[in-house]
Chains A and B, each alone.
Chain A
Amino acid sequence: MQPLAINHFSIVNSLGAGSAAITGALRARRSGLAACDFETATLDTWIGQVAGLDGFRVRSDLGAYDCRNNRLAQLGLEADGYSAAVAAAREKYGAQRIGVFMGTSTSGILQTELAYRRRDPQTGTLPADYRYAETQNSFSLADFVQRYLGLTGPAFGVSSACSSSAKVFGHAARMMAAGVCDAAVVGGVDSLCLTTLYGFNSLGLTSRAPCRPYDTDRDGISIGEGAGFVLLEKSPARTAVGALLLLGVGESCDAYHMSTPHPEGMGAKLSMQHALDAAGLAPADIDYINLHGTATKANDASEDRAVFELFGAATPASSTKGSTGHLLGAAGVTEAVIAMLAIEQGLLPGGMHTQNIDPALHSNYLLENRDAGVRRVLSNSFGFGGSNCSLVLGASG
């Protein structure tokens, strides 16, 4: 594919708001995970919660959209000067020529959960202040972001579980290549809710400790929340040395099971191979792999097999979910931004909480931070339904 320029991005999660805070936490090896005290949940698990969302409200002209997910979106849009950068892009390209493609798995479902508690005891009807379209519908996030940024081009939500906000990069690239838009706001937001906490618990997939990707004793995920946004623009013929680029997107389906990955990592391998092919790169060109690395038994075994078959044991790899938790539909963009921070900072983040790497896993899993020149990163995001997406990000020159 034609590389796309990335001049602006933003990130917010339990590690902090903005790239500097996230980089600082990664460098200091500070995890955002804490024992679950979310809302009325009574689960023995750990979560990555963003502070202050309960007392926060979205911009008043968009009050109908107010919910935890859109509040978190607004925090993300205001981090790292992102909304100002989009305002400048709007002047350059025109509001009509910038697409908005947003990934989320559960949008503002917490709002519906809370509304169900307030159903009329006699009639069962939902409270009058409940706003379905603006909070629950899977388009609500993209709709909010588009209005917040004053954009009027093509927009839609992508909801493919935990690959959602990785896949938006592919959608934007195709829309730009087709000439439907000249630039794109891509990203994703997922926020804590009881549906995912109790849902993953029902599948036996939540850990009772901070998640330990690639550990012998790994026993599940820690759910987190977060937002990330990237502005994609066409790359000029000559890019400055070190400029960040989206080099490749690869997508595949496991075609195996709704909630268990292919045991041999078949879909994962395909998506990584497609991403390398799209970037015109070989495995040896990749300096670091940000793994999906959820810390479930099945994911890490499946992903490791695919990574090892493709990359062998040389390429350094880690999962940053020990730091952030699993941000589900926001994981793709979050880890794409972490990949870009790794390139900018020359930092390979070591995975957190992992004590003993599972001897059955053969990839080069990093346990400690490493300072190293990083030119190109591959980032994996795999979701329920066997939906896989891999991104290749790099620096020009």
Chain B
Amino acid sequence: MSDALDIALRLLAVFAVFLVFPLVIGQTEHKVMAHMQGRLGPMYAGGFHGWAQLVADGVKFAQKEDIVPAGADRRIFQLAPAVALLPYLLVLVAIPIGPHNAVGQDLDAGIFFVLAVMGVGVLGSLMAGWASANKFSLLGGLRTAAQLLAYELPMLLAAASVAMAAGTLSLTGIVEAFHWWWLPWQIVGGVVFFTAGLAELQRPPFDMPVADSEIIFGAYTEYTGLRFALFLLAEYAGIVVLCALTSVLFLGGWHGPFGAAGLGWLWTLLKTVILAFGVIWLRVTYPRLREDQLQKLAWTVLIPLALAQIALTGVIKVVISS
């Protein structure tokens, strides 16, 4: 009985994180962007600094009419937002936030699970792009697919490097094996992983698939109301997952200079939030990469770097163990 209760509580906690964190990231993005660009942003809803703008947005999205274009492939069009969002919920189950089994479910091949399921989310964008029966959507879908194919490989290679270093595929195992000197050792892999992850989420400067000045909003052009909100939510959930994963794999997760007893989860959280801030910062700072620049960056820079990192990891691993 207590086993079932334990599992239910864990799943409930993961679900709560899934519901709350993406919204917090969204709100932070509003505010950070407003401050960095020297503009006010929404300031009235709720009084203090427009804190209730998020609620107002939610109400607005819920009220809007849910339109399916006449020429669209109805069922696939309606299914796409769920396919885009749900994988991130599944991924959150496997990400550890603290020591002593503070994880939804510790998986033997956790790193593979996380990367595999994250890849499924992109199917949602492809389905949306194709089923909308709209040329802009189709172009967006094409760009999404091309981007995924290019950036999945460096992401996997970088993750493989850290798995080699730790000698396990379990996310908990990787954090447990972490030492501070892994930071300089795996830094290249970390940068490659984070960059490729940004590209997979289609966040600026890699937002060619949704480039609003060229193809309206890519695969999501035809969406309205709640379904559109679900796509936005998927993007923010993706940021949470990517930042949490990067901090778990490359920044040591719950390890910190002090406060090891009981405060581990705070370190994970802090690293995740700092990375998420970086993601927002990048959006405000950098212009969009052109499609050919995107592909060139992946195939000529990131993949060689990831391969070099794997070689370095292998050499040092052999030197240590001998």
Q: Do A and B come from one complex?
A: no
